[in-house]
A and B are shown apart, each in its own frame.
Chain A
């Protein structure tokens, strides 16, 4: 495994919020009929999670499933197990029109944590991050300033953010600048 490197080798920044590159996460893009029992069973087998509702995430970074669109899920598994999980999933989906593909290496993952994490996110995405509108379990695809990204809250003061690997440097810079310790907004 010494050949492995995440996009930024675990970079971190400590400011208004704490920004950490999480490292390699096993991720599978699963496209199919989300109402199908086979698809649900494949997700359950891989993650132990139920089918997520619209704009929701079930489970955790190590075993989770997030709603990407009406026919797409992001399946989260441990990085080391992604190929085995993918094979099992494909076996489960045999005969079903579906596409399961490993995208673990195509992504970079960040965590923004701390009391001001909602504010930091509010500087980069055109999304209402007030507690009434966005809470743990909510999942959203949007833009992070100039690039596409997806994010969810794992707890009351922590967001996980997924972007393309090539944009990792940009997104880390963006989140770090938004976390300037002097730049608290004070609204959440």
Chain B
């Protein structure tokens, strides 16, 4: 059972306090977007073996959404960070590069 630190309330919360929210940093496509763009936005998701960026909500806690960077094979948590950002913080990316040289995720890495 995972533990993730909520960046808003500082609690190292266990999974029963959390709700998983799927892939992070999706760009929304609305009216005016092409069929392909909208299709990809709705349905196409990364399914990496290794470094992954996800959304979580501290549902049984402060109620805030946050981001987590995690390894899907070892379950190592590289870090959690604010939901109010379009990309992971630089320090976190550097930390991941140190631990998983050569990693990629979408256009990151």
How far apart sit A187 and B48, CA to CA, in the bound complex (Å)? 43
Kindly state the separation between the CA atoms of A140 and B58 in the bound complex, as whole angstroms. 12
Q: Quick check: B64 and A142 within 8 Å, CB to CB?
A: no
CB pair A142–B10 under 8 Å, yes or no, is: no
| Complex interface: stretch among B11-19, B69-77, B90-98 | B11-19
What residues of chain A lie closer than 8 Å to B63, measured between beta carbons?
A: 69, 141
CB–CB B17/A142 < 8 A: yes
CB of B61 within 8 A of CB of A141, answer yes
A54's partner among B9, B14, B16, B17 (CB-CB below 8 A) is: B9
| Chain B residues touching A, range | 10 to 19
CB contact list, B39-66 vs A, under 8 A: 60-64
Residues of A within 8 A of B17 (CB): 126, 142-143
Complex contact B16–A143 (CB within 8 A) = yes
Contact A69–B16 (Cβ < 8 Å): no
Distance of A10 Cα from B60 Cα, bound (Å): 26
Q: Which residues of B contact A70 (CB under 8 A)?
A: 8-9, 62, 64
- Residues facing B in A32-78 (CB within 8 A) are 54-55, 68-70, 72
Query: Which parts of A122-164 form the interface with B (CB within 8 Å)?
Result: 126, 140-143, 148
A contacts, CB < 8 Å to B? 54-55, 68-70, 72, 126, 140-143, 148
Given contacts A70-B62, A148-B60, 14 further A-B pairs with CB under 8 A are A54-B10, A68-B62, A69-B8, A69-B64, A70-B8, A70-B64, A126-B16, A141-B9, A141-B60, A141-B63, A142-B17, A142-B60, A143-B16, A143-B60
| 8 nearest A-B pairs in the assembled complex, by CB-CB distance | A69-B62, A143-B60, A141-B61, A70-B8, A126-B14, A148-B60, A142-B60, A126-B16
